[in-house]
């Protein structure tokens, strides 16, 4: 297919226009690069070279900027000029190195001081009474809790009314306030010192006068704290005799606090522990 003269002229004109546009765009690109180089060569306040550092400027790694979704932008990027404008408009603010800045921030917090209550000095008595000497507390190593149980035969229970009858014969009296049967120095009279007490083995362990006739329990617990109002061995003998009497009358067995059968050997070991405790207490008091 041959082109006529008119078509050939239009083709040459179109090619020439394209070449002119390309030359114009190339010139704009070269001019932008020159402006970018000139801006980079201008001195910047705050970026003066420090003695001992390279005066040529920041390292090559600092000329590459990461702008999130825009990616990494270098000086040759088509958005480099936009990046420089953004940096000039939004400079990076450095934290203050003034140590007084933190003090000012802290002092802005309002703190309401709490006034101390006024001290009240009691008036001295006209005649001071003689001071009562304070008795030093006894260490726990010189104290001891002794416990024995009277356990019913397997499959059987002690009744509350029967317990009350046998306990009265063993000089134990029910204290309504504490809910315990107590043996005191004057056979349970009120106001006398407590030697040992007795509870039952069903929770909560206390005896209720109103429901004593309905009580059914698998056993009884006799316990005392040493030292007490009596000599240690005397108090132990009284509690062992009471436990033996309860066991014989109720048809039970004497056991230790873990409900293990109390043999003669176990009883001798218990007496030995109590005697040793008494000796150590006497040695310390001398």
The per-residue pLDDT for range 138-162, each reduced to its tens digit, is 676 789 999 999 999 999 999 999 9
212-243, pLDDT tens digit by residue? Answer: 999 999 999 999 999 999 999 999 999 999 99
SS3 146: strand
Q: Which residues of 181-218 are buried (b: 16+ CB within 10 A; e: fewer)?
A: bbbbeeebeeeeebbbbbbbbeeeeebeeeeeeebebb
How much is the pTM? Answer: 0.52
Share of the chain above pLDDT 70, in %: 62
**pLDDT: is 3 or 190 the higher one?**
3
Q: Is pLDDT at 8 greater than 90 in this prediction?
A: no
Instruction: Look at residues 44, 32, 42 and name the one whose alpha carbon lies nearest to residue 77.
Output: 32
Neighbour count for residue 136 (Cβ, 10 Å): 6
Contact (Cβ atoms closer than 8 angstroms) between residue 194 and residue 245: no
Q: Looking at residue 84, what is its pLDDT?
A: 46
Lowest average pLDDT, out of 32-41, 104-113, 149-158, goes to 104-113
In this structure, what token pair is assigned to residue 87? Answer: 């940096």
Q: For domain 143-285, give its CATH number from 3.20.140.10, 3.40.50.2300, 3.40.50.300, 3.30.1400.10.
A: 3.30.1400.10
Contact between residue 213 and residue 161 where contact means Cβ atoms under 8 Å apart: yes
Backbone angles phi, psi at 26, to 5 degrees: -65, -40
Q: What are the extents of the domains in the chain?
A: 143-285
């Amino acid at each position: 297919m041959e082109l006529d003269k008119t078509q050939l002229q239009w083709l040459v004109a179109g090619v020439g226009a394209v070449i002119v546009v390309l030359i114009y765009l190339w010139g704009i690109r070269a001019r932008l690069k020159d402006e970018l180089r000139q801006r980079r060569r201008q001195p910047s306040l705050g970026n003066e070279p420090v003695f001992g550092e390279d005066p040529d400027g920041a390292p090559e790694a600092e000329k590459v900027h990461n702008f999130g979704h825009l990616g990494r932008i270098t000086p040759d990027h088509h958005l480099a000029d936009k990046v420089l404008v953004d940096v000039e408009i939004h400079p990076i603010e450095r934290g203050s190195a003034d140590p007084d800045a933190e003090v000012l921030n802290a002092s802005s917090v309002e703190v309401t001081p709490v006034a101390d209550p006024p001290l009240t000095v009691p008036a001295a008595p006209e005649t001071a009474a003689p001071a009562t000497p304070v008795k030093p507390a006894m260490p726990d190593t010189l104290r001891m809790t002794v416990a024995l149980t009277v356990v019913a035969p397997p499959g059987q229970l002690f009744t509350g009314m029967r317990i009350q009858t046998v306990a009265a014969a063993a000089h134990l009296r029910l204290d309504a306030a504490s809910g315990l049967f107590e043996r005191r120095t004057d056979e349970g009279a009120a106001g006398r010192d407590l030697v040992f007490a007795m509870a039952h083995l069903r929770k909560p362990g206390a005896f209720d006068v109103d429901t004593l006739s309905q009580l059914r329990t698998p056993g009884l617990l006799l316990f005392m704290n040493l030292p007490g109002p009596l000599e240690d061995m005397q108090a132990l003998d009284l509690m062992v005799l009471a436990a033996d009497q309860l066991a014989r009358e109720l048809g039970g067995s004497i056991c230790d606090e873990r409900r293990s059968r109390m043999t003669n050997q176990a009883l001798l070991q218990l007496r030995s522990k109590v005697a040793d405790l008494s000796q150590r207490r006497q040695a310390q008091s001398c």
